Amino acid sequence: MSKLCVECFTVSLDGFGAGPDQDEANPLGVGGRELHGWIYTTKAFREMVGQSGGSEGVDNHFFKGNREEGGATIMGRNMFGPIRGSWEGSDWQGWWGPDPPFHHPVFVLTHNERPDLTLSDTTFHFVTEGIDVALDRAKSVAQGSDVSLAGGVSTILQYLKAKLVDQLVIAVAPIELGSGERLFSTVGESALATKSFNTTVPSLVA
């Protein structure tokens, strides 16, 4: 049975999962790229972008497992790109170029309709009916594999509040952002206390 899993979502020491002022030059907000420095050093990441070398320790284990186990991905519109409002007239195709790293269907939550977008072996489906419909569709195509909840912060919080997340793996980067989007800042105790989580915090390469 498919589980909904947040895998290796990275937060800063002061709890932020993205920096402020997201735009095309700063996909994760100002300072947000530094959150993921631990990923860039792993062998799995380097293989993904066509490079050699990289670490093979615990960080590589978590990142590689995140990429290999999922049968579908859900993300918020902000994670897909900086475009706001209607998609009309926009040719934005995501941050990842012509060969996105997902290699399975991706469901993008949005309030504005847009036709499916296929790049290489990844198809982006734009879901306007809300988080439950996105999850149902993702589980249907995952065919028993887990569904990855990629982010960003507001999307993860929506699923946590709805008690739909089965596994939460958080990486803590050894930096402080000072501002941005903070994970858990608006999640009440009841949203977490009534749900059993398998929660793991991997060690990071500083």
**Digit-coded pLDDT (tens) for 135-160:** 999 999 999 999 999 989 999 999 99
**Domain 4-19+30-82+100-200 annotated CATH 3.40.430.10:** yes
Q: What tokens were used for 90? A: 């926009």
- Residue 123: Cβ-neighbour burial (10 angstroms; 0-12, 13-18, 19+): middle
What is the predicted pLDDT for the residue at 67? 63
Domain spans in the chain, listed from the N-terminal domain onward: 4-19+30-82+100-200
Predicted TM-score (pTM) of the model is: 0.84
d(CA 92, CA 75): 16
**22, 28 in Cβ contact below 8 A?**
yes
As a whole number, mean pLDDT of residues 31-56 equals 87
Average pLDDT, the chain: 86
Write the single-letter amino acid at 69.
Answer: E
Q: Tell me the percentage of the chain whose pLDDT exceeds 70.
A: 87
Residue ranges of alpha helices (H) inside 41-185 are 43-48, 58-69, 77-80, 131-142, 153-161
